[in-house]
């Protein structure tokens, strides 16, 4: 039997405890509800939203370091600017990267400058020989010290003797230097070259499949000092826009006759009569018909795509192939070109640098016609900031993904920079392909001073399996940027040769690792006024071997190699 | 304790535990303060930009609970001030739409990442969800985040189906992604709607062109041109379609037409909402645009207002002073115009535009001595530039010295032989000096250079009829 006290206590407990327990639950639920639904701060909302997006930019690790002075190179371009603001002053200079003495490493050819109108000292071209740890200037002793105002540098073995010859486009007569075992001879007159226009980028390529390198030279303007005029876009004297001259120039095509002479076939090839402000040129088989075509980037006039018709003639197919203008119908200020097969579909795509305020242009080749994929590639934001000139698309860190470098430099004064000491200097940009988009890597270049960037040549200067860069600056220093790639990725460099032992320009190289296929073309030109290392470079990520390497020479012959070791330079001679 | 009470006690413990130590939220109400106000710094042209310790700024963003607006140092001051005002209103009222307005200002300053962040916050916390979703999509599109842009724009369209530009943007996004069928569907929704009705049709033309459907492309582009005959891109794409069909002569003709039309200025061409953002931010650039548009349509009072506003921002810019001096002179306020032009030339004696404005205004105000001084300075500065001689000719004519005026005009023409303006001026002076044969000859020469010049044709006809 329970006592009354016993009977009261459970009674209270039974009545009060549930009230306390359940009663406390209600305010708790109310507070919990409010806590769960309380308004987030805008910062939290934005943070959550950002988290759903891919990263918009990256603070990149240093990808390159300026080692120009460490290499003993001091090459300062004299642009001849004397206050007259002649437009030729702001275009150059060019640069070439090739192994002139066939000692296995790349040397540097820097185009000259100086007084524009023969009213002052001229600046000769320089040839910097790679001596391993340092470079020596040897142009004078080897006959490469071409005097005067020069722009483009094109390199190729024009006579099939295995060493690389050099064409230099200039304001005035262009120059062809034949390489005779590491010494240069000016053979311009004998070769029938030496056009007197305003030559810019030039390219050696074999358009008729005869095994001899032909030559295309882009020209910028029909310019004379008398035709120049003052422009005052910011109120003070400045360089003019090329369209203000209304004097687009005629490019020229020369056919290699095989006996040391070239024939000017501009007219008979159908190229004559089409004018543009030509700056960049790239030769590639854009329509996959087995013939090498040409894309010409013009400055504020429509680009040209010279489709090779196979009978020695060309037709401008840019309009119908969708690459004369950008997707907004604008003839961009096309400067430099990178021509690579970005999506590994076997067709060369086009990346064209542009003036500030407009983004660079990416034209994806969809089988003979191009689509403007600029925005899809994430170029719309970062690439509008500066004026891009030389460029290269290559695998900087050998991870198997292509990256892009653009050297920038101004062409016009902006009111806020009028009083600066170097008002045309601009920083370069480097971007990695991440998730299908080029993402700018801020802080990717260490130690480089901003300049008015122009030419850019890429090549493995130090033989460590990644590509270094050589840049020129208008009125400024030549810069060598060493690739600071620290990743432990594999690579393969393929040096495809002609029967004569020179670089097999136009040959295609395909590398297969598992299911992954990458393609390159043996090409020394493109970019802007530049000639790069012609060897095909492949970044292979963590691959330990290459399953298959396939080479197709321009004459149609093919070769296939299996199970190759990585991290080597493979020299492939023509059978 | 009954089983029932035990369950209740466990539930209560869980609930209170969540309240006590659960995720943040309750204490993070909207900020109680706005952003810190930077100081003003002025450059040589008098343009004010912001100056603030970065740590202080970041802390104020954090305290206000706002997305981090990156380093404001050097940013144009007036729009930034407006942004800070909006942040204060937001702190005071918790009105999420103010976040959207802050996004609009960031957009106008071309700070697209912070703009996107503000729009993302406004979409969730504001009431004008359709608008902020739209802006969020537009900024994601600008930044190349195409999928996020599609998501935001799709939701904007659900809320506001009638804003045609949304569908056009979606069409463009799907086009960029290579999803051509969806691109066409969206462009079709935009066709004939919105502030720029040909936009959707031009997009459909673009899609057809990418599929090499040249006839189909022509059909859409012709329809676009019926709606907007001066649509630059429609003509450009039409030329591409005609080229694809091998009709090269027609392609060249279409290309020529497009060359004469103004190119698009990005989405600003079609999107009034972007214009609204620029107006709200009142950036220097937006005032410059207002000024140049007012000048282009000949609305001098509006140009003068915009000009004075711009001068308030850039009081020491010789370029702006020169432009505004000329505008003000044309409204008839010559003393003010002269004051501005003098200031421009004093600030930058080597600036051609400043000297030209001074000469122009001085001649208009009949201060011939000053006018002569300025034209001589111009000629010394740029002896190969025709403008100095042309102004000198005007000065001589205003002084009643037509013969000398003719000499100077001929000098200007020798420097710019293609310029119709110089020749027409010369014709005018010759005609007034009764040298009719010479005037006729000049007009004939002009018509060789520009056979379609209507003014020259009319003048020649009038001369001959005399």
What is the predicted ipTM? Answer: 0.71
Residue B142's beta-bridge partner residues? none
- Closest CB from A41, A302, A324 relative to B28: A41
Cβ of B143 within 8 Å of Cβ of A14? The answer is no
Cβ of B121 within 8 Å of Cβ of A329? The answer is no
Whether residue B335 has a cis bond before it, omega within 30° of 0: no
Q: Distance between CA atoms of A266 and A274, rounded to whole angstroms?
A: 10
For residue A3, what pLDDT is reported? Answer: 43
For residue A436, what pLDDT is reported? Answer: 84
Q: Does B144 touch chain A (CB under 8 A)?
A: yes
Q: Distance between CA atoms of A529 and A488, rounded to whole angstroms?
A: 33
Q: Distance between CA atoms of B284 and B279, rounded to whole angstroms?
A: 10
Three-state secondary structure of A187-255: CHHHHCCCCCCEEEEEEEECCCCCCCCEEEEEECECCCHHHCCCECCCCCCECCCHHHHCCEEECEEEE
How does DSSP classify residue A132? S
Cβ of A42 within 8 Å of Cβ of B99? The answer is yes
Q: Distance between CA atoms of A205 and A292, rounded to whole angstroms?
A: 8
Cβ proximity of A128 and A137 under 8 Å: yes
Q: Does B260 touch chain A (CB under 8 A)?
A: no
- Closest CB from A24, A45, A437 relative to B120: A45
3-state secondary structure of A510: strand
- Closest CB from A236, A329, A369 relative to B350: A236
For residue B30, what pLDDT is reported? Answer: 46
Cβ proximity of B402 and B396 under 8 Å: yes
Cβ of A376 within 8 Å of Cβ of B4? The answer is no
> Taking Cα atoms as reference points, which of B20, B175, B32 lies closest to residue B91?
B32
Chain B residues whose beta carbon lies within 8 Å of the beta carbon of residue A329 = 232-233, 236-237, 258, 263-264
Q: Determine the residue of chain A that is closest to B319 in CA distance.
A: A235
Chain B residues whose beta carbon lies within 8 Å of the beta carbon of residue A327 = 206
Query: Mean pLDDT, to the nearest integer, of A12-30?
Result: 70
pLDDT for A265 beyond 60: yes
Tokens of B440: 């006729």
Q: Determine the residue of chain A that is closest to B179 in CA distance.
A: A376
Phi and psi dihedrals of B319, rounded to 5? -60, -50
- Closest CB from B8, B31, B148 relative to A41: B31
pLDDT digits (tens, 9 = 90+) for A545-557: 999 999 999 989 9
Cβ of B141 within 8 Å of Cβ of A375? The answer is yes
DSSP string for B198-215? THHHHHHHHHHHHTT-HH
Strands A262-264 and A214-219: unpaired
Chain B residues whose beta carbon lies within 8 Å of the beta carbon of residue A237 = 352, 382
Which residues are CB-contacts of B215 (< 8 A; sequence separation ≥ 6)? B245
| Selected residue of A11, A37, A46 to mutate for chain B interface (largest B Cβ count, 10 A) | A46
> Taking Cα atoms as reference points, which of A202, A199, A253, A193 lies closest to residue A223?
A199
Percentage, residues of chain A above pLDDT 90: 71
Strands A314-316 and A304-308: antiparallel
Q: Tell me the shortest Cα–Cα distance from B2 to chain A, in angstroms.
A: 8
For residue B305, what pLDDT is reported? Answer: 93
Residue numbers of chain B with a pLDDT score lower than 70: 1, 4, 15, 18-32
Chain B residues whose beta carbon lies within 8 Å of the beta carbon of residue A30 = none
Q: Tell me the shortest Cα–Cα distance from A526 to chain B, in angstroms.
A: 26
For residue A34, what pLDDT is reported? Answer: 56
Cβ of A18 within 8 Å of Cβ of B4? The answer is yes
How does the average pLDDT of chain A come out, rounded? 90
Q: Does B261 touch chain A (CB under 8 A)?
A: no
Q: Distance between CA atoms of A77 and A124, rounded to whole angstroms?
A: 10
A55: pLDDT confidence band, cut at 50, 70 and 90?
very low
Q: Tell me the shortest Cα–Cα distance from A48 to chain B, in angstroms.
A: 9
Q: Determine the residue of chain B that is closest to A33 in CA distance.
A: B19
Q: Determine the residue of chain A that is closest to B235 in CA distance.
A: A329
Residues 265-304 of B with CB under 8 A from A: 266
A209: left (phi over 0), alpha (psi -120 to 50) or beta: left
Quote the Cα angle for A452-A457-A462, to 5°: 120
For residue B426, what pLDDT is reported? Answer: 95
From A50-59, A232-241, A390-399, B154-163, the region with the lowest mean pLDDT: A50-59
Q: Which helix (H) or strand (E) is A108 found in, with range?
A: strand A107-110
Q: Does B120 touch chain A (CB under 8 A)?
A: yes
Query: Mean pLDDT, to the nearest integer, of A308-323?
Result: 95
Cβ of A56 within 8 Å of Cβ of B145? The answer is yes
Please count the residue pairs, one from chain A and one from chain B, whose beta carbons lie less than 8 angstroms apart: 191
Cβ of B112 within 8 Å of Cβ of A229? The answer is no
Cβ of A416 within 8 Å of Cβ of B43? The answer is yes
Q: Distance between CA atoms of B75 and B85, rounded to whole angstroms?
A: 16
Burial (CB count within 10 angstroms: exposed 0-12, middle 13-18, buried 19+), residue B323: buried
Q: Which residue has the tokens 């993402």?
A: A439
Cβ of B176 within 8 Å of Cβ of A322? The answer is no
Q: Does B382 touch chain A (CB under 8 A)?
A: yes
Q: Distance between CA atoms of A529 and A281, rounded to whole angstroms?
A: 9
Cβ of B26 within 8 Å of Cβ of A47? The answer is no
Cβ proximity of A280 and A296 under 8 Å: yes
* CA dist list (Å): A528 to A86, A91, A390, A444: 20, 10, 5, 21
Q: Tell me the shortest Cα–Cα distance from A331 to chain B, in angstroms.
A: 10
Q: Tell me the shortest Cα–Cα distance from B369 to chain A, in angstroms.
A: 23
Cβ of B348 within 8 Å of Cβ of A56? The answer is no
Burial (CB count within 10 angstroms: exposed 0-12, middle 13-18, buried 19+), residue A137: middle
For residue B27, what pLDDT is reported? Answer: 37
Q: Which helix (H) or strand (E) is A297 found in, with range?
A: strand A293-298
Tokens of A569: 């330079």
For residue A4, what pLDDT is reported? Answer: 43
pLDDT for A293 beyond 90: yes
Chain B residues whose beta carbon lies within 8 Å of the beta carbon of residue A232 = 351-353, 382, 385
Q: Which residue has the tokens 């400067």?
A: A335
Q: Does B318 touch chain A (CB under 8 A)?
A: yes
| Selected residue of B172, B173, B240 to mutate for chain A interface (largest A Cβ count, 10 A) | B240
Residues 157-186 of B with CB under 8 A from A: 176-178
Rounded to a whole number of angstroms, the distance between the first and last alpha carbons of chain B is: 121
3-state secondary structure of B324: helix
For residue B463, what pLDDT is reported? Answer: 87
Cβ of B28 within 8 Å of Cβ of A371? The answer is no
Cβ of B112 within 8 Å of Cβ of A327? The answer is no
If you compute the radius of gyration of chain B from its CA atoms, what whole number of angstroms results? 30
Burial (CB count within 10 angstroms: exposed 0-12, middle 13-18, buried 19+), residue A186: middle
Residue B49's beta-bridge partner residues? B41, B76
- pTM metric for this prediction: 0.79
Strands of A403-408's sheet in order across:
A58-59, A437-442, A429-434, A403-408, A388-394
For residue A1, what pLDDT is reported? Answer: 39
Query: Mean pLDDT, to the nearest integer, of A351-361?
Result: 93
Residue A527's beta-bridge partner residues? A337
For residue B46, what pLDDT is reported? Answer: 82
* CA dist list (Å): A477 to A412, A449, B156: 20, 9, 52
Query: Mean pLDDT, to the nearest integer, of A287-298?
Result: 96
Strands of A199-205's sheet in order across:
A199-205, A214-219, A252-256, A262-264
Chain B residues whose beta carbon lies within 8 Å of the beta carbon of residue A358 = none
pLDDT digits (tens, 9 = 90+) for B204-258: 999 999 888 999 999 999 999 999 998 999 999 999 999 989 898 899 889 889 8
Burial (CB count within 10 angstroms: exposed 0-12, middle 13-18, buried 19+), residue B159: middle
Residues 419-448 of B with CB under 8 A from A: none
Residues 354-373 of B with CB under 8 A from A: 354
Q: Determine the residue of chain B that is closest to A37 in CA distance.
A: B25
Tokens of A354: 């542009």
For residue A107, what pLDDT is reported? Answer: 98
Helix, strand, coil percentages, rounded to 5, for chain A: 15, 40, 50
Cβ proximity of A116 and A131 under 8 Å: no
A53: pLDDT confidence band, cut at 50, 70 and 90?
low
Cβ of B144 within 8 Å of Cβ of A325? The answer is no
For residue B282, what pLDDT is reported? Answer: 92
pLDDT digits (tens, 9 = 90+) for A177-212: 999 999 999 999 999 998 899 999 999 999 999 999
- Closest CB from B15, B264, B384 relative to A29: B15
> Taking Cα atoms as reference points, which of B394, B388, B363 lies closest to residue B375?
B388
């Amino acid at each position: 039997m329970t006592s009354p006290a016993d009977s009261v206590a459970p009674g209270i407990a039974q009545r009060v405890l549930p009230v306390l327990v359940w009663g406390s639950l209600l305010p708790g639920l109310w507070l919990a509800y409010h806590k769960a639904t309380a308004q987030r701060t805008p910062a939290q909302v934005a943070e959550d939203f950002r988290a759903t997006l891919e990263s918009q930019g990256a603070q990149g690790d240093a990808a390159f370091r300026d080692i120009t002075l460490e290499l003993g190179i001091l090459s300062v371009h004299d642009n001849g600017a004397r206050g007259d603001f002649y437009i030729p002053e702001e275009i150059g200079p060019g640069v070439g990267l090739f192994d002139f003495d066939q000692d296995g490493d790349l040397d540097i050819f820097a185009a000259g400058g100086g007084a524009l109108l023969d009213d002052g000292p001229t600046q000769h071209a320089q040839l910097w020989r790679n001596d391993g740890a340092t470079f020596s200037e040897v142009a004078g002793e080897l006959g490469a010290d071409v005097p005067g105002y020069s722009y483009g540098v094109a390199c190729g073995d024009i006579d099939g003797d295995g060493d690389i010859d050099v064409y230099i486009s200039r304001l005035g007569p262009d120059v062809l230097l034949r390489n005779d075992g590491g010494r240069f001879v000016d053979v311009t007159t004998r070769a029938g070259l030496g056009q007197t226009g305003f030559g810019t980028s030039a390219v050696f390529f074999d358009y008729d499949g005869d095994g001899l390198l032909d030559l295309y030279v882009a020209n910028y303007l029909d310019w004379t000092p008398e035709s120049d005029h003052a422009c005052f876009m910011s109120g003070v004297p400045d360089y003019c826009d090329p369209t203000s001259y209304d004097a687009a120039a005629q490019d020229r095509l020369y056919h290699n006759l095989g006996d040391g002479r070239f024939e000017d076939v501009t007219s008979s090839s159908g190229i004559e009569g089409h004018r543009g402000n030509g700056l960049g040129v790239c030769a590639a088989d854009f329509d996959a018909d087995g013939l090498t075509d040409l894309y010409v980037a013009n400055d504020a006039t429509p680009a040209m795509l010279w489709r090779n018709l196979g009978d020695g003639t060309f037709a401008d197919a840019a309009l119908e192939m969708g690459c004369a203008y950008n997707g907004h119908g604008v003839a961009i200020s096309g400067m430099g070109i990178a021509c690579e097969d970005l999506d590994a579909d076997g067709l060369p795509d086009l990346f064209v640098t542009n003036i500030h305020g407009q983004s660079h242009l990416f034209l994806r080749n969809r089988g003979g016609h191009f689509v403007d994929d600029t925005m899809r590639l994430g170029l719309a934001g970062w690439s509008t900031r500066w004026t891009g000139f030389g460029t290269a698309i290559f695998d900087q860190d050998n991870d198997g993904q292509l990256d892009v470098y653009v050297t920038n430099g101004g062409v016009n004064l902006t009111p806020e920079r009028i009083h600066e000491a170097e008002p045309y200097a601009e920083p370069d940009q480097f971007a990695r392909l991440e998730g299908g988009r080029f993402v700018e890597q801020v802080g990717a270049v260490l130690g480089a001073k901003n300049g008015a960037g122009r030419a850019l040549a890429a090549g493995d200067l130090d033989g460590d399996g990644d590509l270094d860069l050589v840049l020129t600056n208008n009125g400024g220093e030549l810069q060598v940027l060493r690739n600071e790639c620290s990743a432990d990725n594999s690579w393969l460099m393929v040096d495809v040769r002609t029967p004569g032992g020179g670089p097999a320009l136009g040959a295609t190289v395909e590398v297969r690792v598992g299911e992954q296929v990458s393609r390159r073309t043996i090409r020394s030109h493109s970019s802007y006024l530049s000639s790069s290392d012609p060897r095909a470079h492949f970044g292979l990520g963590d691959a330990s071997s290459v399953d298959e390497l396939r080479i197709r020479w321009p004459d149609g012959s093919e070769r296939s190699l299996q199970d190759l070791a990585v991290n080597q330079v493979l020299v492939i001679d023509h059978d | 304790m009954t089983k029932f009470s035990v369950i209740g006690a466990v539930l209560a413990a869980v609930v209170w535990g969540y309240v006590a130590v659960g995720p943040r939220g309750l204490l993070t109400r909207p900020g109680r303060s706005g952003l810190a106000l930077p100081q003003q710094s002025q450059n040589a042209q008098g343009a004010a930009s912001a100056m603030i310790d970065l740590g202080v700024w970041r802390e104020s963003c954090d305290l206000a609970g706002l997305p981090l607006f990156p380093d404001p140092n050097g940013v144009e001051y007036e729009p930034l001030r407006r942004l800070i005002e909006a942040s204060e209103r937001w702190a005071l009222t918790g009105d999420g739409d103010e976040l959207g307005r802050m996004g609009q200002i960031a957009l106008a300053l071309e700070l697209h990442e912070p703009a996107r962040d503000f729009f993302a916050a406004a979409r969730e916390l504001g009431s004008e969800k359709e608008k902020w979703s739209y802006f969020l999509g537009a900024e994601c599109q600008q930044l190349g985040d195409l999928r996020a842009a599609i998501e935001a724009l799709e939701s904007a369209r659900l809320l506001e189906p009638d804003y045609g530009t949304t569908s056009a943007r979606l069409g463009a996004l799907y086009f960029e992604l290579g999803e051509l069928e969806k691109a066409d569907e969206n462009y079709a929704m935009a066709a004939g709607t919105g502030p720029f009705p040909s936009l959707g049709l031009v997009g459909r033309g673009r899609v057809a062109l990418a599929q090499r459907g040249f006839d189909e492309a022509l059909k859409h582009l012709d329809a676009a041109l019926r709606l907007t005959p001066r649509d630059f891109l429609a003509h450009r794409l039409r030329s591409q379609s005609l080229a694809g069909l091998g009709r090269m002569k027609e392609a060249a003709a279409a290309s020529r037409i497009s060359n004469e039309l103004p190119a698009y200025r990005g989405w600003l061409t079609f999107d009034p909402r972007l214009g609204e953002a620029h107006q709200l931010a009142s950036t220097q650039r937006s005032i410059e645009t207002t000024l140049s548009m007012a000048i282009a349509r000949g609305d001098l009072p509006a140009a003068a207002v915009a000009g004075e506003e711009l001068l308030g921002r850039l009081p020491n810019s010789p370029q702006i002073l020169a432009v505004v001096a000329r505008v003000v002179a044309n409204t008839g306020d010559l003393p003010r115009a002269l004051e501005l032009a003098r200031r421009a030339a004093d600030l930058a004696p080597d600036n051609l535009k400043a000297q030209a404005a001074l000469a122009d205004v001085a001649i208009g105000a009949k201060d011939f001595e000053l006018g002569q001084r300025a034209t001589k300075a111009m000629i010394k500065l740029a002896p190969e530039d025709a403008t100095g001689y042309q102004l000198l000719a005007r000065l001589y004519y205003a002084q009643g010295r037509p013969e000398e005026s003719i000499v100077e005009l001929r000098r200007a023409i020798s420097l710019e032989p293609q310029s119709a303006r110089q020749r027409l001026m010369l014709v005018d002076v010759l005609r007034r000096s009764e040298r009719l044969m010479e005037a006729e000859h000049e007009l004939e020469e002009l018509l060789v250079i520009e056979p379609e010049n209507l003014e020259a044709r009319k003048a020649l006809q009038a001369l001959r009829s005399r």
